[in-house]
Amino acid sequence: MRNLQVAAAFLEMAELLELSGETGFKPVAYRRAARTLEHLAEDIEQVYEEGRLLEVPGIGKGLAGKVGELLTRGTFHQLEELRRQVPRGLVELLAVPGLGPRTAAVIYRHLGIAGLGELERAAGEGRLRGLPGLGEKKEANIRESIRRLAQRLERAPLAEVLPLAQELRAALAAHPVAVRVEIAGSIRRGRETVKDIDLVAASARPEELMDHFATLPQVAEVIARGETKATVRTYAGGQADLRVVAPEHFAAAWHHFTGSAEHHVRLRHRARERGSVLNEYGAFADEAGLYESLGLPFIPPELREDAGEVEAAEAGRLPELIRREDLRGDLHLHTRWSDGLATVAEMAAQARKLGHEYIAVADHSPSLVVAHGLDARALAAQRAEIEEINGQAGDFKVFRGVEVDILKDGSLDLPDEVLRELDVVTASVHTRLGGDAGTMTKRLELAMKNPHVDAIGHPTGRLLGRRDPYPLDLERVLEVAAETGTALELNASPYRLDLGWVGLKRARESGVKVVINSDAHSTAGMADLAWGINEGRRGWLEAPDVLNTRPREDLERFLMRKR
Ligand code: DGT
Ligand code: CA
Ligand code: ZN
């Protein structure tokens, strides 16, 4: 978590330097350090505490000092200085995909434009073309990017917001007048995208806590402030709300601001039927007490979506939700053989550190040329490497697998003789995503009917905030998955979370097995499984619904069934 935050601060620094006209090596150095940190498997905080910062590639004395300042203060001096100097509207322009700091600086210098609204107008009026480095085409691209950005700015992926929310929570909780501070809203419910950060605090002195909130280094501006509520804009770009309540009302308020609004409607209805009322001013020791007052067991936040959880609670049939500790392995990992950054051995070593009992290497197949897909010969060569690792791995096992492309007619990108030899075959669609529901469903159906395919990777192809799922008859897919004994992947990349929670819930109800995979392309990416667990919980999954909670022999039996 901290690694990504330090990386983000360095990226911001590089951008601010370029916006302020700096062209030398400095921005490059910050960027390089940021990239290193993004892929660093070790926790930077630990590296810092052990005094080993200078061993990290790309981090010299100067940057090491800044890492130290970031880890202890959450910011560093030069960054604060530049944030003051560079106009905010200019920074805002960088949110436009494809618009870099150099171009933004040019637009600012020539047209005095600092702000998305102004940029949109200028692009619409054709005033950008003709500026140094800007033509008609680039102007059109900027117009299109602004349009897409407007949609995306509304909701950000959870993974981009949660670390900041945790930081704000901790900073508030550290203040002497705070009795308790917690994250609420969609973040607490683990929704895959969120609109803003909701924080609830218990304190007898709300004014002081809100003063503290307003001056946190992460806070750029106070948007609104009342007696017990403050809304701020953070440097990351989003908003954060803080509500402060008296300690005796904390549990009720935390529950209220956790939502969802739909879940609350159901609860209020139930309260009325039982002759009581439910609002944020109730006095409960904790949330369990609140549910108990309604004659219900505690309902975990991930389930509070009015998706049947109140009925299930009433009937004593709430699921026992899967936890991260339940996972014993990860069956979709890319290595340097295709487009991954680490070797098989490095991925295996990291997996053992994470406590896994097994992994499957699943590099791409030949038709995915951009990702250096593997043909039969490359797979055979990889086999030798994997067998050597397994020879020295004791109880740990590396399964041989592939992420084979589902081609346009539903056939697979590798012949059956090749697939038969592998332990785990995950079949995914990566190209020709534009088909109609009939076509796309048929492609998945045919892939599942192949006797060697164990799972379908990222079944709907969605990329959160960037690409819609392709149209699919999910009920038909579930039917064939159940018939053929094919598992569906819950791809744990925080930008996919595919299959999503609504589909997962249906998969479970249909008796279809799910496999939660990181789809990691680096050792650091293997930690993404946590996002998958979060989505799985929202999808009501229990450990037995998920293939990779099984002990190895048990998993091997499942994998053998289909070939
Ligand atoms: P978001 O922000 O769109 O990702 O989703 P939420 O659920 O965090 O929504 P938000 O931030 O508007 O409100 C946080 C919680 O506060 C929400 O889940 C329930 C409660 N809440 C807010 N506004 C209302 C309302 O008008 N009626 C009810 N019943 N509850 C509300
Ligand atoms: Ca919210
Ligand atoms: Zn894939």
**Domain-wise residue ranges, the chain:** 3-152, 156-245, 260-314, 324-560
Give SS3 for 321.
strand
Q: Is 436 exposed, middle or buried (0-12, 13-18, 19+ CB in 10 A)?
A: exposed
In this model, does residue 28 exceed pLDDT 70? Answer: yes
The DSSP symbol for 86 reads S
94-120: per-residue pLDDT in tens? Answer: 888 888 888 998 999 899 888 888 898
Residue 237 has pLDDT above 80, yes or no: no
Closest residue by Cα to atom 17, ligand 1, is 259
Q: From ligand 3's centre to the CA of 398, what distance in Å?
A: 19
Residue with CA closest to ligand 1 atom 26: 261
Residue 547 near residue 558, CB atoms below 8 Å: yes
Q: Which atom of ligand 1 is nearest to the CA of 259?
A: 18
Q: In percent, how much of the chain has pLDDT > 70?
A: 99
**Mean pLDDT calculated for residue range 377-392:** 95
Name the strands in the sheet holding 487-491, side by side, starting at the edge strand that comes first in the sequence: 329-333, 358-364, 397-405, 424-428, 455-456, 487-491, 514-517
Say what the pTM is. Answer: 0.81
| Low-confidence winner among 27-41, 89-103, 238-252, 318-332 (lowest mean pLDDT) | 89-103
Residue in 154, 155, 200, 256 to alter for ligand 1 test, most ligand atoms within 8 A of Cβ: 256
In this structure, what token pair is assigned to residue 270? 């139930």
Burial of 100-110, coded b for 16+ CB within 10 Å and e otherwise, reads ebebbbebbee
Each residue's pLDDT tens digit, 266-311: 999 999 999 988 888 889 999 999 999 999 999 999 999 999 999 9
Average pLDDT over residues 57-78: 92
Q: Give the nearest ligand 1 atom to 268 CA.
A: 29
Q: Output the residue whose Cα is nearest ligand 1's atom 28.
A: 261
C-alpha 217 to ligand 1 mean position (Å): 26
Strands 239-245 and 229-234 turn out to be antiparallel
Q: Per-residue pLDDT averaged across 48-75, rounded? A: 92
Q: Which residue has the tokens 């699943």?
A: 362
In 3-state terms the chain splits into helix, strand, coil percentages (rounded to 5) of: 50, 15, 35
What residue's CA is closest to ligand 1, atom 3? 195
Give 456 Cα–ligand 3 centroid separation in angstroms: 10
Give the pLDDT band of residue 467 (cuts 50, 70, 90).
confident
Strand partners, 456: 427, 488
Which of 182, 245, 257, 303 to probe ligand 1 with, by most ligand atoms within 8 A of CB?
257
Ligand 2 midpoint to CA 390 (Å): 47
Q: Using an 8 Å Cβ cutoff, are 71 and 41 in contact?
A: no
User: Taking residues 237-258, what's their average pLDDT?
Assistant: 96
Q: How confident is the model at residue 151 (pLDDT cuts 50, 70, 90)?
A: low
- Nearest-atom index, ligand 1, CA of 194: 4
Mean pLDDT lowest among 183-192, 228-237, 512-521: 228-237
**198 close to ligand 1 (CB < 6 Angstrom):** yes
CA distances from 331 to 213, 310, 380, 510, 548 (A): 43, 34, 19, 22, 8
Nearest CA to ligand 1 atom 1: 195
Q: Considering only the top CATH level, what class is 3-152? A: mainly alpha
pLDDT bin (cut points 50, 70, 90) of residue 152 is: low
Give the sign of the dihedral formed by CA 95, CA 45, CA 209, CA 215: negative
Q: What is the residue with the minimal CA distance to atom 19 of ligand 1? A: 259
The mean pLDDT of 222-230, rounded to a whole number, is: 95
Cα(198) to centroid of ligand 1, in Å?
Answer: 9
pLDDT of residue 232: 95
Structure tokens at 288: 């369990």
- φ, ψ dihedrals at 22, nearest 5°: -70, 125
Length of the chain: 563
Q: What separation in Å is there between the alpha carbon of 199 and the centre of ligand 2?
A: 9
Residues with CB under 5 A from ligand 2 (ion): 185-186, 196, 198
What are the φ and ψ backbone dihedral angles of 208, each rounded to 5 degrees? -65, -40
The finding on whether 425 has its CB within 6 A of some atom of ligand 1 is: no
Distance 160 CA to ligand 2 centre (A): 14
3-state SS assignment for residue 80: helix
Distance 458 CA to ligand 3 centre (A): 7
Give the tens place of pLDDT for each residue, 320-360.
999 999 999 999 999 999 999 999 999 999 999 999 999 99
Regarding the beta carbon of 264 and ligand 1, being less than 6 Å apart is answered yes
Residue bearing the CA closest to ligand 1, atom 13: 185
Longest pairwise C-alpha distance within the chain: 72
Q: What is the CATH number of domain 156-245?
A: 3.30.460.10
pLDDT at 161: 93
Least confident of 81-95, 176-190, 250-264, 349-363: 81-95
Residue of minimum CA distance from atom 5 in ligand 1 = 186
- Residue 306: the pLDDT is 97
Q: Is 195 in the pocket of ligand 1 (CB under 6 A)?
A: yes
Q: What pLDDT does residue 153 have?
A: 65
CA distance 515 to 54: 39
Best residue for ligand 1 mutational test, from 152, 193, 198 (most atoms within 8 Å of Cβ): 198
Query: What is the whole-number distance in angstroms between the Cα of residue 264 and the centre of ligand 1?
Result: 10
Q: What is the 3-state secondary structure (H, E, C) of 481-542?
A: HHHHCCEEEEECCCCCCECCHHHHHHHHHCCCCEEEECCECCCHHHHHHHHHHHHHHHCCCE
Query: Collapsing DSSP states into helix, strand and coil, what is residue 232?
Result: strand
Of 62-76, 136-150, 533-547, give the lowest mean pLDDT range. Answer: 136-150
Distance CA 8, CA 13 (A): 9
CATH topology of domain 324-560: TIM Barrel (3.20.20)
CA distance 41 to 353: 10
Long-range contacts of 282-285 (CB under 8 A, 24+ apart): 282/249, 282/251, 282/252, 283/248, 283/249, 283/252, 284/251, 284/252, 284/255, 285/251
Mutation to probe ligand 1, out of 153, 188, 189, 195 (largest number of atoms < 8 A from CB): 195
Question: Residue 562: CB within 6 Å of ligand 1?
Answer: no
- Would the pLDDT of 386 be above 80? yes
Is residue 3 very low, low, confident or very high in pLDDT (cuts 50, 70, 90)? confident
Q: Is the CB of 261 under 6 A from ligand 1?
A: yes
The predicted structure's pLDDT at residue 562: 66
If you measure from the C-alpha of residue 259 to the centroid of ligand 1, how many angstroms do you get, rounded to a whole number? 6
Q: Topology of 260-314 in CATH?
A: Beta Polymerase; domain 3 (3.30.210)
> Is the CB of residue 96 less than 8 Å from the CB of residue 138?
no
Q: Is the torsion defined by CA of 392, 397, 402, 403 positive or negative?
A: negative
Question: Are 401 and 423 spatial neighbours (Cβ–Cβ below 8 Å)?
Answer: yes
Share of the chain above pLDDT 90, in %: 79
Q: How far is the CA of 520 from the centre of ligand 3 (A)?
A: 10
Question: Which atom belonging to ligand 1 lies closest to the Cα atom of 196?
Answer: 2
Using CA atoms, how far residue 7 sits from 18, 36, 63, 211, 306, in Å, is: 17, 8, 11, 29, 38
Give the residues across from 470 on adjacent strands: none
Q: Output the CA 158–ligand 1 centroid distance in Å.
A: 16
Ligand 1 atom closest to the Cα of residue 187 is 8
- 443: which residues sit within 8 A by CB, 6+ positions away? 406, 407, 408, 409, 410, 429, 435
Nearest-atom index, ligand 1, CA of 198: 11
Report pLDDT for 563: 45
Q: Which atom of ligand 1 is nearest to 193's Cα?
A: 4
Ligand 1 pocket residue status of 257, Cβ below 6 Å? yes
